[in-house]
Amino acid sequence: VSEDKVTFCRICEPFCGLVATVEDGRIVGVRGDRDNPFSQGFCCAKGVAMADVVTDPDRVIEPLRRCGGPGEFVPVPWDEALDDVARRLRAIVDEQGGHAFGGFIGNPPYFSYSAPMFFQGFLDAVGTKWKYGVNAEDAASRIAANAILYGSAALLLKPDLWRTDFAILIGANPLVSHGSVVSEPRIREALDAIAARGGRVVVIDPRRTETARRYEHVPVRGGTDAWLLAALCNVIIEHGLADRAFVDAHTTGYDAFAAALARFTPEHCAPRCRVPATTITALAREFAAAPNGVVYGRTGTCTQRFGTLNNLLQDAINILTGRIERRGGWVVGWGPIDFEAYAEKSGLSTYGAVRSRVTGLPDVNGQLASSALAADITTPGEGQVRALLTMGANPVISSGGGGRDLEDALEQLELHFSLDLYVNETNKHAQYIFPVTTFFEREDVPLLVMGNMLRPAVMATEAVVAPPPGVRQEWEILNELARRMGLGGAYSAPALRRLAKLGLRVKPRPMIDAMLRLSDAGDRFGLRRNGISFKKLLTRHPHGVVLQEELPIRPLETRLRTADRRIPLGAAPLLEQLRRLADFEERGDFPLRVIGMRELRSQNTWMHNVARLMPDGRVQRALVHPDDATAAGLEDGRLATISSETGTVTVAIEVTTDMTPGTIAVPHGWGHNGGWRRANGAGGANSNELALARPADVEALAGMSILNGIPVRLARTPLTPEARERDTVSI
Ligand code: SF4
């Protein structure tokens, strides 16, 4: 019997509506849901290919216990594994305190509503402040900038693309990433519509990306965005283009900011960023003159040496031109569940409230940088991490420096247990791996992105297939471990832990249902007839419902969380970073710059084992400009050695004028050596190996791994005849 089941994707932020065709409990097809009013039928290859993860023979479908070296595991019954982990963790915490335990959460579980909730609950129940994650390879600098400018790490602004006339995208490639820190499955249509109504989309990037090709491209040297952004601000100020009425009403510190920018003239910055001064001046003037506009940047700018400064300066352009919380500008957004209030109440919207114990890096939204973990494990003393939970995380591959020290550190732990779909390069060092569900096997609500949608929508889904018998959801595993440790359950609220000890263990469904019912769109438990609940979403809106076609614009002072309800343009971290930028000297002995690159058929480090995305013969290619290839004696398809001060990778190159001279793009997520056969067999190199992982080389304000703008050299790789046969690839 074949049945179509409506659901939605939870691989990345658009949360596209899907229809899964199920036969005899197996998914036999996946397509975009045309009746979903939010995504209107759009879905990408990854959403379709996710069905293959469900049946992947390399997937972990029963608990595993380490029986030898890294990666050597045997199956073990659930009870035995849970009892042993609970007993050992209890003993470590009893003897050394709650801070002897740490948790690391990766990207995939964040797209479930229940997994991050119970992960935090487990950490709180055990009593540790050590929560690590992948934000320092992603958006931590964006969030830190929000905390500095707007007074809250949870206040995430988004580009009002459907109503803007001038969008500057910097370090963002939404035609491939499908948008980030903004949820809009129809982002290409939104950008096309700008051009169609006579507006402009300008893409600033070292590579002529898929997005840059479709609109206007301004090439920039890798890792130098801060100089370009500072020069744009300088032109707006020096040419009298600032919206002084807005600035006077909503900001403080304008004069100090203007003084700090005085030296960053287009002529001064052009040699650094390699954008002509005339182009910088024209872009600033045209952007300021547009009826409305927005600057939006993402991981490309975030993961640089001046990542937080980049975000501060992007926003400064929006602020100086009066585009904050304005139609077509940089807006606070709205979701039925006030995520910002939820994060603040849950103590999650922090910045610098906790510092990593050895490197002293600040938490961002409660999360510590991945690069801090190895030293926190290996350095003896108060709060040393002796037991670790990794959940859907692979920092050995994804962290800056390629997790160089982390593999050794993981082997020194007294206990490491993991919740994951696969044996990866990180949890192969664990003592236990607990198997978890795919998104097709669990209920959900898009809690994380509800406040990020450009057309605020809400939807709910049941599981469309049952998980394999040996597989459980993350929340079930963590709740059960907490119970066996005598903690009641994996709840942040002490009252819920007390109830659990009495035998009343609240499941996540009533928790999210209450949040939905009490939300701005909720049914208030029957008081509002047309309001939503989890059940009403399933029955009345099975394809989801768009709640607002446009983002509401509200008085800015009501949105800001700073004490004086103004934006501090003279904030000390911003001025201090501008001083550092002015003094920064580039190294001449590594003349080229490496940037990362996201591919359409790849999702960070975890989707390389799917044949549909990783067919035989697909190879990793570093993109190199012809001038740089010629200088290194390289031709198209040849293996090249790329060396930074601390790491070296060998990778085939594609010679292309899509790159700006001096910058090389290396796709990330390759170079596997875990328990996934196809991913291992695909070869390639881990581009993050090139990152400099010393404490001094981590971005200062958010602990970002510096993955873009890494100084490197490029050389021809000497090949033996056998290697030539094996490694030379035709592109
Ligand atoms: S764009 Fe993201 S959410 Fe949409 S189908 Fe692709 S992976 Fe899933």
32 CA closest ligand 1 atom index: 5
Question: How many whole angstroms from 670 Cα to the centroid of ligand 1?
Answer: 20
Q: Order across the sheet with 17-23: list the strands.
A: 2-8, 17-23, 26-32
47 CA closest ligand 1 atom index: 5
- What pLDDT is stored for residue 346 in this prediction? 75
Question: How many whole angstroms from 661 Cα to the centroid of ligand 1?
Answer: 32
Q: Where are the alpha helices (DSSP H) in 541-625?
A: 556-559, 572-583
Whether pLDDT at 261 is above 70: yes
178 CA closest ligand 1 atom index: 1
Cα angle 692, 601, 373 (rounded to 5 degrees) comes to: 30
Whose C-alpha lies nearest to ligand 1, atom 3?
Answer: 15
Whether pLDDT at 539 is above 70: yes
Which of 43, 52, 186 has most ligand 1 atoms within 8 Å of CB, for mutation? 43
Question: How many whole angstroms from 68 Cα to the centroid of ligand 1?
Answer: 38
pLDDT in tens, 279-298: 999 999 999 999 999 999 99
Question: How many whole angstroms from 48 Cα to the centroid of ligand 1?
Answer: 9
- What pLDDT is stored for residue 724 in this prediction? 56
- What pLDDT is stored for residue 731 in this prediction? 32
pLDDT in tens, 75-122: 999 999 999 999 999 999 999 999 999 999 999 999 999 999 999 999
Question: How many whole angstroms from 365 Cα to the centroid of ligand 1?
Answer: 25
DSSP state letters, 227-275: HHHHHHHHHHHHTT-S-HHHHHHHEE-HHHHHHHHTT--HHHHHHHH--
**Spatial contact of 476 and 419, defined as CB atoms under 8 Å apart:** no
Q: What is the mean pLDDT of residues 629-657?
A: 95
Q: Which residues line ligand 1 (CB under 6 A)?
A: 9, 11-12, 14-16, 43-44, 46-47, 178, 185
Question: How many whole angstroms from 436 Cα to the centroid of ligand 1?
Answer: 20
12 CA closest ligand 1 atom index: 2
pLDDT in tens, 164-202: 999 999 999 999 999 989 999 999 999 999 999 999 999
697 pLDDT band (50/70/90 cuts)? confident
Which of 18, 46, 448 has most ligand 1 atoms within 8 Å of CB, for mutation? 46
Question: How many whole angstroms from 441 Cα to the centroid of ligand 1?
Answer: 17
Whose C-alpha lies nearest to ligand 1, atom 6?
Answer: 44
DSSP state letters, 308-320: HHHHHHHHHHHHH
404 pLDDT band (50/70/90 cuts)? confident
CA-nearest of 711, 714, 641, 713 to 222 is 711
- What pLDDT is stored for residue 725 in this prediction? 55
Q: Which of 287-296, 300-309, 338-347 has the lowest mean pLDDT?
A: 338-347
Which of 8, 9, 461, 607 has most ligand 1 atoms within 8 Å of CB, for mutation? 9
- What pLDDT is stored for residue 402 in this prediction? 66
723 pLDDT band (50/70/90 cuts)? low
Pairwise CA distance, residues 432 & 88, whole Å: 12
| Cβ within 8 Å of residue 498, ≥6 positions away | 488
Pairwise CA distance, residues 85 & 480, whole Å: 11
Q: What is the mean pLDDT of residues 44-52?
A: 96
Which of 10, 175, 178, 453 has most ligand 1 atoms within 8 Å of CB, for mutation? 178
Whose C-alpha lies nearest to ligand 1, atom 4?
Answer: 16
Tell me the two tokens of residue 663.
Answer: 């910058």
Q: Which helix (H) or strand (E) holds 532?
A: none
Whether pLDDT at 662 is above 70: yes
45 CA closest ligand 1 atom index: 6
With pLDDT > 90 as the criterion, what percentage of the chain qualifies?
90
Question: How many whole angstroms from 152 Cα to the centroid of ligand 1?
Answer: 29
Question: How many whole angstroms from 459 Cα to the centroid of ligand 1?
Answer: 15
Q: What is the mean pLDDT of residues 241-270?
A: 98
Question: How many whole angstroms from 185 Cα to the centroid of ligand 1?
Answer: 8
Question: How many whole angstroms from 165 Cα to the centroid of ligand 1?
Answer: 27
Question: How many whole angstroms from 177 Cα to the centroid of ligand 1?
Answer: 9
**Spatial contact of 679 and 609, defined as CB atoms under 8 Å apart:** yes
Whether pLDDT at 400 is above 80: yes
Across the chain, mean pLDDT equals 95
Pairwise CA distance, residues 709 & 712, whole Å: 9
- What pLDDT is stored for residue 328 in this prediction? 98
Pairwise CA distance, residues 496 & 513, whole Å: 16
Question: How many whole angstroms from 461 Cα to the centroid of ligand 1?
Answer: 16
426 pLDDT band (50/70/90 cuts)? very high
With pLDDT > 70 as the criterion, what percentage of the chain qualifies?
98
16 CA closest ligand 1 atom index: 4
46 CA closest ligand 1 atom index: 7
Tell me the two tokens of residue 635.
Answer: 């031709």
pLDDT in tens, 569-624: 999 999 999 999 999 998 889 999 999 998 888 888 888 999 999 999 999 999 99
Question: How many whole angstroms from 450 Cα to the centroid of ligand 1?
Answer: 16
Pairwise CA distance, residues 595 & 664, whole Å: 6
Whose C-alpha lies nearest to ligand 1, atom 2?
Answer: 12
- What pLDDT is stored for residue 509 in this prediction? 98
700 pLDDT band (50/70/90 cuts)? confident
722 pLDDT band (50/70/90 cuts)? low
- What pLDDT is stored for residue 587 in this prediction? 80
Give me Rg for the CA atoms of the chain: 25
Question: How many whole angstroms from 39 Cα to the centroid of ligand 1?
Answer: 10
pLDDT in tens, 201-211: 999 999 999 99
Which of 7, 11, 38, 112 has most ligand 1 atoms within 8 Å of CB, for mutation? 11
Whether pLDDT at 239 is above 80: yes
Which of 18, 44, 601 has most ligand 1 atoms within 8 Å of CB, for mutation? 44
Tell me the two tokens of residue 584.
Answer: 């920064």
- What pLDDT is stored for residue 729 in this prediction? 42
Pairwise CA distance, residues 124 & 145, whole Å: 27
525 pLDDT band (50/70/90 cuts)? very high
Q: Which of 209-218, 394-403, 425-434 has the lowest mean pLDDT?
A: 394-403
